[in-house]
A and B are shown apart, each in its own frame.
Chain A
């Protein structure tokens, strides 16, 4: 029967797809664990930096650094969009891109020139389709972004900002809050709003530090370092969130495939039984006609 054969074919296809999604889920899980470990290790560095900044704060020193100053007039900016190289991760790319488009619109309204830099093939494809001119594109940041690569990027932004070629830097990425909560944001990284990066530094007051060479010198060095760490954290957050998004999407797909395979199997059994019944009826009918 044609119908039955069709059902068998579909059932096989669904089972094959299930195998793929299940494997992708497992891969995403292990990549997520790796990315998560890296992010936790990196957090230690950021924590220490903010601790030193906190110590500097108590040294009665004027916090002035070119990277901290908000320009009176913002004319040029850079928007860095962090998306994934691969799809099949639910709404991960879409939500980052939606946020960036909203941001681009508001930049246009305020007549701020912007230079778009995009990481990840998905974002590049989408923005090309939207005919938004992309200045620079990166596809090398995979699920384990290296600090060295991010550092060169960060140094370029710092140079541009200090030289006055840009007045602000925004990054659109997915912020990782907990493993069950991530959301797409557009964050302004330059000028640096707060140095502590939202982390409360409550080290015991009254430690009298000796600063070598001087507190001011340390400050000039530590502000770019804090920025680099912040930018690196954006990349790490994006990598972790991507894996979580993929994990969740693939888990959903696997469950759907299971459900679908179940209902197809049921349909097939019913069709088979219907066939047997009709064949039996034919035989009985034939025998009755002969007798």
Chain B
């Protein structure tokens, strides 16, 4: 039977490196799921939730912030700027970040792009957060 394993790396550390049953990642334009035997792929990631199901059926979920995904053979590598378990997201922090991004007054296109990106990230965080 074909196998699948996930390597989740950020510039600071390797968060996850184990065999899994299936993976769902947020691509730049929507979700994509990978099962064993996926054809090779390199894709750009968006901001959102990475969900993986282990062979035992247990589900783990991470919040990731952009990056790339590479599928090669049985290994799925996810390279992202920052990742943290979804369970650690807090609603309060996300709301504070949304307010912060909204309060900013952009003076240039670059500033606007950066603050709207932060706003998008904070909104996704809020949508996924489960604790206060």
- The answer to the question of A9 belonging to the interface, with a C-beta cut-off of 8 Å to chain B, is no
When distances are taken between beta carbons in the complex, the residues of chain A under 8 Å from B32 are 212
Q: A148-B82, A213-B28, A218-B68 are in contact. Are A45 and B40 (CB under 8 A)?
A: no
Which segment of B4-12, B53-61, B124-132 sits at the interface? Answer: B4-12
When the two chains form their complex, are residues B44 and A225 in contact, meaning their CB atoms are under 8 A apart?
Answer: no
**Residues 1-29 of B contacting A (Cβ, < 8 Å):** 7, 9-14, 27-29
Bound together, the chains give a CA A67 to CA B14 distance in angstroms of 27
- The answer to the question of B92 belonging to the interface, with a C-beta cut-off of 8 Å to chain A, is no
- The answer to the question of A52 belonging to the interface, with a C-beta cut-off of 8 Å to chain B, is yes
When distances are taken between beta carbons in the complex, the residues of chain B under 8 Å from A55 are 42, 70
Q: Which of B14, B44, B68, B72 contacts A44 (CB 8 A)?
A: B14
When distances are taken between beta carbons in the complex, the residues of chain A under 8 Å from B11 are 42, 45, 147, 228-229, 232
B interface residue count range (under 10 / 10 to 19 / 20 to 34 / 35 or more): 20 to 34
Q: Which residue of chain B has its CB nearest to the CB of A150? A: B11
Q: Which residue of chain A has its CB nearest to the CB of B15? A: A41
Bound together, the chains give a CA A203 to CA B68 distance in angstroms of 18
- The answer to the question of B102 belonging to the interface, with a C-beta cut-off of 8 Å to chain A, is no
Q: How far is the CB of A47 from chain B (nearest CB, A)?
A: 9
Q: A147-B81, A151-B81 are in contact. Are A48 and B40 (CB under 8 A)?
A: no
Bound together, the chains give a CA A218 to CA B41 distance in angstroms of 12
Which residues does A use to contact B, with CB under 8 Å? 38, 41-42, 44-45, 48-49, 51-52, 55-56, 146-148, 151, 159, 203, 207-213, 215, 217-218, 221-222, 225, 228-229, 232
| A-B interface, 3 closest residue pairs, ranked by CB to CB distance from nearest | A212-B43, A41-B13, A147-B11
